[in-house]
């Protein structure tokens, strides 16, 4: 959901913002690593609690989002460093600042309103645009490359694995028949022809999610991050991760559990925090959000 703002044309509404802020237990002079800064919704709230001795490191693969944040935070008295890269590159990012550990990590793994509402990025099946789906516009692989060249069996595996869509084989076979696909509506038509109208929107959402995840290597990068973040989180530092589908949430849950069993992490959310009815009413996107928080102990 987006709102007009004097700081930019449209601002992304951060989900679970109060819960994230309280969970991270902000240390005013601390260093915070926001791996998915997006339009800066969560960042703005955290930065307000930092002193001029603090450091906020904002990462995003979307240059449009970073451009927005550069403008939004240009007058901030807090040191803010923005980087166009993936959040899984923790060490190389911290090395740029001569920092070895941070006081907090934040990941909001959802799509931003800027991305979903774009008429040229191809993230949403509800408006026509080129089949792109790249977070990072500088990378070569886009959705149309996958959809037009990948063997049907491999495409079916992606749709099943990343979208948990049971009709993945029928869908992938029909995508192959409909090639070349050039636009979002081409893909919508190919999927619609082999799905029941009653379940069509859910199926389309799963297919678009599956392709987007593959294009951006989302699960692979999350796995790399989860395997390494603990080494860069100070004792007593906290990590907060918001996920929007079961594949991401499962990875986070299992990694936190493993680190907890090793005595290195205390899980502060035995069950994930979800949005209140009031927040869901104001921001439908928050309905599927799950926040998990943990603190490093050793």
pLDDT of residue 114: 82
Quick count: other Cβ atoms within 10 Å of Cβ 20?
A: 23
Q: What pLDDT was estimated at residue 6?
A: 36
Domain boundaries, the chain: 2-114+219-296, 125-216
Q: For residues 65 and 83, what is the distance between their CA atoms, to the nearest angstrom?
A: 11
* Token duo for residue 1: 């959901």
Whether residue 180 is preceded by a cis peptide bond, meaning omega within 30 degrees of 0, is yes
Domain 125-216: top CATH class: mainly alpha
pLDDT band (50, 70, 90) for residue 2: very low
- 270 burial type by CB count under 10 A (0-12 exposed, 13-18 middle, 19+ buried): exposed
Q: Is the pLDDT of residue 3 over 50?
A: no
Residue 225 has pLDDT above 90, yes or no: yes
pLDDT above 70 for 292: yes
Q: How many CB atoms lie within 10 A of CB 209?
A: 22
* Of the candidate ranges 95-99, 108-112, 175-179, 274-278, the one whose mean pLDDT is the lowest: 108-112
The model scores a pTM over 0.85 = yes
- 163, 207 Cβ separation under 8 angstroms: yes
Q: Please tell me if the domain spanning 2-114+219-296 has the same topology as the one spanning 125-216.
A: no
Q: 2-114+219-296: CATH homologous superfamily?
A: Vaccinia Virus protein VP39 (3.40.50.150)
């Amino acid at each position: 959901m987006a709102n007009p703002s004097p700081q930019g044309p449209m601002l992304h509404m951060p989900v679970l913002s109060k819960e994230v802020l309280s969970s991270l237990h902000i240390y005013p002079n601390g260093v915070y690593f926001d791996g998915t800064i997006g339009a800066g919704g969560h960042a703005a709230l955290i930065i307000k609690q930092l002193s001029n001795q603090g450091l906020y490191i904002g990462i995003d693969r979307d240059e449009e989002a970073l451009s927005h944040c550069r403008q939004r935070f240009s007058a901030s008295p807090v040191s803010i460093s923005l980087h166009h890269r993936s959040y899984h590159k923790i060490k190389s990012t911290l090395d740029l600042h001569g920092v070895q550990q941070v006081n907090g990590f934040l990941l909001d793994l959802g799509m931003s309103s800027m991305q979903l509402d774009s008429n040229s990025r191809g993230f949403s099946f509800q408006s026509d645009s080129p089949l792109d789906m790249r977070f990072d516009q500088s990378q070569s692989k886009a959705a149309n490359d996958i959809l037009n060249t990948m063997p049907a069996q491999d495409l079916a595996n992606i749709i099943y694995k990343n979208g948990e869509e049971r009709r993945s084989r029928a869908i992938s076979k029909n995508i192959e028949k409909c090639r070349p696909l050039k636009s979002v509506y081409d893909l919508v038509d190919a999927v619609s022809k082999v799905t029941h109208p009653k379940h069509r929107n859910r199926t389309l959402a799963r297919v678009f999610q599956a392709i987007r995840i593959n294009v951006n290597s989302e699960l692979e990068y999350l796995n790399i991050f989860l395997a390494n973040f603990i080494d860069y989180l100070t004792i007593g530092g906290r990590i907060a991760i918001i996920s929007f589908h079961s594949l991401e949430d499962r990875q986070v849950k299992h990694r936190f559990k493993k680190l907890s069993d090793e005595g290195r992490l205390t899980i502060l959310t035995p069950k994930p925090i979800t949005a209140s009815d009031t927040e869901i009413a104001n921001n439908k996107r928050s309905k599927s959000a799950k926040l998990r928080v943990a603190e490093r102990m050793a």
